[in-house]
Chain A
C-alpha cells in the first residue's frame, strides 16, 4: 500500500490542515487533550465472516476475558483496554482497509490478529510497524517484520516432538503426508520430512489437494490404503480435514494406521465425530483438556464469564487470550508502543497464557507443546513437551 510507505510529510499535513480548516479544528484539539488518560485501544482482527468464522466467537470471548482481567488490575500503563473486534474473514484488502480505518479514525495503539497468512502479509504491509502487531495463531513460522510478534505454534514446534514420539512409542517407520495446497502445509511438511528422516523413518507419499475447492477424499484414502503407511500426517484445514478424516475412518483405515493432524482442535474434532477419531493424534500448544493448574484457573474464569453457552475453547481462541496478555506485558515493559523499544523489550518477555506462562525469544514464543490422543470428541493429553523452541528467531 502506497500511502503508508513513507511517513507523513508536508502534503499529508496540508491535507489534514485543510480538512481541519473546513470542518473545525475543535474535535481534533479535544481529542488530543483527552489523549492523556484515554483508553488503550487494541484492534482485534478475527474472522467474523467466511468459513473461518467458527473461531470468531471464541477468539473474541478469550480476548475480552484477558482485557477484563487486565483492566481490573489497572490496565496497560494505567489505561484501560478497549478491544475493537474487526472482521478478518474477508479478502486481505478488506482487512487492510479496516486496519487503516482503525489507525486513522480510532487511533488504535496495537493490533492483535488471528487470521490466515495472506491477511497477515497484507496487514504487515499496511501497518508498516507503526504500532505493535501481535499475530497469534498457528502458522508456518518466519515472520520477522519490524514490530511484529508471533505467538502461534510453528512447524518445528509441532513436528519435532510429535514425529519423535510416534517413532519412539509407536515404532512408526513410514509416513504419508496429505495437505491443502498452500504455504502453511508445504512448510510444515518440509519440517516434518526433516524429522521423519532424522528419526530413521521414510516419507512414502506426499500429496496436496487444491485449497478452496470442493474436495472429496475417496481416491486419496484408497491410495493411502494401498501405500500402507504407519502414519498419515494431515496438514489439511477446516472442512477438508473433517472430510478427509471421516472418509479415512469410513474406509476402515483407522484400525491400523495412525493419523497425526497439525490443525486439529476442538471444533474440527467435533466435525470429525466420535466414530471417526480412533488412532488420531494432534499436537498443539493448547487443548481444553490440558491438565495444568493454570488452565483449570483459566477455564473457571472463562466459564464464569460466559456461562453454559460459552463458545468452544480451542488453541486458536485461547491464543487471543495470550495475545492480549502479551500486549500488556510488552507495552508495560517497553513503556509504550514505540517500535524499537517494543522490539527490545520483547526478548525474554514472559507473559500469561491459558496453559501457563510463555516466554518470547526472537519475537516468537518458546512453547509448551501437548500431544493428544483423540477419545471420541475429546482430546486426552498423553505427553507434554516443555519449552519447545520455535525454530525461527528474528532480530530484536
Chain B
C-alpha cells in the first residue's frame, strides 16, 4: 500500500514536470509575444519524428537534439516571417492562421511517414529502485531534465543580456526600439526559441508515446490550460500551472480514474479562465 502511494506521488511529479517542459515553447511565444501558437503540438510532433529518424538511422539518441533544433529553428523562422510577423496585432488571426499551420504540418507528416504508429525505443530501459519502490529510469531522468531545462531558462531569462532585452521588449516595444533593440529580430528569435523548445519536448517524450501525425493535438490544449492556470510570463507561473493541471489530473487519475481526472482538468481550466484569467502568478 505504501509503495502504491509513493509510486503514485512520483507519477504526479512526473506528470507535472513533463507537462511543464512541453508547455515551455507555448509559454515563451504566448507569454512574450502574445501569439497563441496552435501549431505548438505539431512542433512537438516534429521533435518526436526526429527522434524516430535518428533511431532508424542507428545514430545515438542524442543526435536527435541538434537535428530537431535545426529543423524547428528553420521552420520557426519561416513561419514567423511569413505568418506571424504580418499578424502581430491581430491575435485572432494568428490563432486561426497557426491553426491552419497545424493542419498543414500534420498532413505533411502523414504524407512523409504515413498515418501509422512509429515506435521509438527507450534509450535508457529498465527500472531503478529507490524509496522502496521501482520506477522506470528514463522517466526519472526526464523529471530531472525537465526541472533543469526550466531552471536554466529561468536563470537565463533573469540574468542574461538577451533576457533583459526581451523583458524590455515585452514591457514596452516602442521604448525598447528607441533604445536600439531590434524588436523585430528579437521577436523572431523568441518565436524560434519557442518552436525549438517544443521540438525539444518532442524528443524527450518520443520514447514514451506513440509517434504519429495526430499526436500534437494532445499537447497544445493541455499546454494552454497550464498557461491559463499558471499565468503568463514567468517560470514560477508556468510551474504552478503545470503543477495544478498535471497534478490534479494525475492525482485524481490515481485516486479515482482517468475519466474523472480529465474532467477535473477541463473544469479547472474553465474555472480559471473565468474567475482568474490572469492565472495564479501574473506578470507585473
Q: Are A222 and B7 in contact (CB under 8 A)?
A: yes
Q: Are A226 and B15 in contact (CB under 8 A)?
A: no
Give the CA-CA distance A56 to B114 in the complex, in Å.
11
Which of A32-40, A206-214, A296-304 forms part of the interface with chain B?
A: A206-214
Question: Is residue A268 within 8 Å, beta carbon to beta carbon, of the partner chain?
Answer: yes
Identify which of A51, A218, A225, A226 contacts B14 (C-beta below 8 A): A218
Identify which of A220, A223, A271 contacts B116 (C-beta below 8 A): A271
Q: Are A239 and B134 in contact (CB under 8 A)?
A: no
Q: Are A209 and B259 in contact (CB under 8 A)?
A: yes
Question: Is residue A251 within 8 Å, beta carbon to beta carbon, of the partner chain?
Answer: yes
Give the CA-CA distance A217 to B1 in the complex, in Å.
19
User: Given known contacts A53-B115, A219-B8, A267-B116, is B259 in contact with A208 (CB within 8 Å)?
Assistant: yes
Question: Is residue B171 within 8 Å, beta carbon to beta carbon, of the partner chain?
Answer: no
Number of interface residues of B (CB under 8 A): 47
CB interface residues, A 268-300, toward B, < 8 Å? 268, 270-276
List B contacts of A220 (CB < 8 A): 253, 258
Give the CA-CA distance A222 to B250 in the complex, in Å.
11
Chain A nearest CB from B13 CB (Å) reads 10
Question: Is residue A374 within 8 Å, beta carbon to beta carbon, of the partner chain?
Answer: no
List B contacts of A222 (CB < 8 A): 4, 7-8, 11, 254
List B contacts of A181 (CB < 8 A): 259
CB interface residues, B 1-57, toward A, < 8 Å? 1, 3-4, 7-8, 11, 14-15
List A contacts of B134 (CB < 8 A): 251-252
Q: Are A251 and B119 in contact (CB under 8 A)?
A: no
Q: Which of B117, B215, B219 has the most CB of A within 10 A?
A: B117
Chain A nearest CB from B112 CB (Å) reads 14
Chain B residues near A (Cβ < 8 Å): 1, 3-4, 7-8, 11, 14-15, 110, 114-122, 125-127, 134-136, 138-139, 208-212, 214-215, 217-219, 221-222, 250, 253-254, 257-259, 261-263
- Provide 12 A-B residue pairs closer than 8 Å at the C-beta atoms, listed in order of the A residue: A54-B212, A56-B115, A210-B258, A214-B221, A219-B250, A219-B261, A220-B253, A222-B7, A239-B212, A242-B209, A270-B116, A275-B121
List 5 additional A-B contacts (Cβ < 8 Å) besides A219-B11, A270-B117: A208-B259, A210-B262, A214-B222, A271-B212, A377-B119
